[in-house]
Amino acid sequence: MPKRVLQGVVVSDKQDKTIVVKVERRYSHPLLKKTVRRTKNYHAHDENNVAKIGDVVLIEESAPISKLKTWRLVEQAPQA
């Protein structure tokens, strides 16, 4: 089974080797047909502490690294 890859924005890099990434998903409300935005924060492992606040990054699923970390930093996402 392939690993999920999500794109989000780094909102915290204060912890050592850990970043917090805010991922936004958009979907159509089933009844109102309005586009709804939902955000969720993911803790991701950043081995070399390269990501900084405001960076757009790609994270992928991994085996659990700690209590909160089950995602790993893949790369800085290309800027559109």
pLDDT tens-place values along the chain, 80 residues long: 789 999 999 999 999 999 999 999 999 999 999 999 999 999 999 999 999 999 999 999 999 999 999 999 999 876 65
Is residue 14 exposed (0-12), middle (13-18) or buried (19+ Cβ within 10 Å)? exposed
Domain positions in the chain = 5-76
pTM for this predicted structure: 0.88
Q: Which CATH superfamily is domain 5-76 in?
A: Nucleic acid-binding proteins (2.40.50.140)
